[in-house]
Amino acid sequence: MSARSDQPGRLVICPTPIGNLEDVTLRVLAALREADVIACEDTRRTRTLLDRYGVTARLISYQEHNERARSRELVQRMRSGDVVALVSDAGMPLVSDPGFVLVRACVAAGLAVEVLPGPSAVLAALVASGLPADHWRFVGFLPRKRAALAASLDAPETVVAFESPARVPATLAALAERDPERRVAVCRELTKVHEQVLRGTARELADHTRDAPPRGEVVLVVGAAKGERGAAEVERATAAVRRLVEAGAKPRRAAAVVAELTGVPANRLYGAVSAASRRGP
């Protein structure tokens, strides 16, 4: 049912199942039925969900390659009174998926943004991991470079991340090299027929996956780093590395020296200094 043209339209964020199509909520189905248009990453994948529940709706492509142009178009539609539903291929839009540009454009235009609750691989993995969930952070897809990877995982709280199944063995091996007793959960194919959660230390899971990488979609959950330093201490150590580099020392050597004196991981210091140098002054 369309909104009247004399009323402002709105954006409705609709989480979709991460695997099992029965996980869609009644509110999401109602929103999809009532929307004037559904913006989605892959129209074929979204159509599979809609056909399952007899939802007929106009679909429009909205993905990372066209989101700026498409956002302008959708904002104009909402200003004319249309209701736009936004979905991603799976889970909550914006969480490592397109949607931020559209939400920001709606906020700037004074349009209402309604967010519906629903499936999330991040939360499902966190709860299934058996690791502390009172303090945690989500870092999205893990970086490939070793220093950046270490910086993402060295945290005083539980870390949740997406990872390519082919790269899981290397990531676990790198973590085991730094902290072999770190607790980890490898969650794959959540809510699907072959769902599996492997729990153990970094060393155990690195050994387990070395010759048999997991298949399907993977979420890694990594326990808090033991002996993690306070933010102020890390910042002081990072500043010391910067001063050594400015005095002519090589960044990796400077990080190693400061790490030996402070106990802050050298890779974390090197990653922070390298990131700062890439950003420039």
Question: Which tokens go with 267?
Answer: 């890779």
Task: List 185's β-bridge partners, or say none.
Answer: 199, 221
Sign of CA dihedral 151, 156, 162, 166: positive
pLDDT in tens, 120-141: 999 999 999 999 999 999 999 9
Is it the case that residue 275 has pLDDT exceeding 90?
Answer: no
Is it the case that residue 88 has pLDDT exceeding 60?
Answer: yes
Residue 250's CB is within 10 A of a number of other CB atoms, namely 10
pLDDT at 201: 95
Is it the case that residue 6 has pLDDT exceeding 70?
Answer: no
Cα–Cα dist 20/33, whole Å: 20
Torsion of CA 136, 141, 144, 145, to 10 degrees: -40
Residue 232 pLDDT level (bands cut at 50, 70, 90) = low
Is it the case that residue 280 has pLDDT exceeding 70?
Answer: no
pLDDT at 270: 86
Question: Which tokens go with 263?
Answer: 């106990």
Task: Give the residue, 131 or 267, on which the prediction is more confident.
Answer: 131
pLDDT in tens, 172-223: 999 999 889 999 999 999 999 999 999 999 999 999 999 999 999 999 999 9
User: Are 64 and 113 a contacting pair, CB within 8 Å?
Assistant: no
pTM here?
A: 0.75
In terms of average pLDDT, the best of 4-13, 47-56, 174-183 is 47-56
Is it the case that residue 10 has pLDDT exceeding 90?
Answer: yes
Cα–Cα dist 12/139, whole Å: 25
Burial 115-138 (b: 16+ CB within 10 A, else e): eeebbbbbbbbbebbebeeeebeb
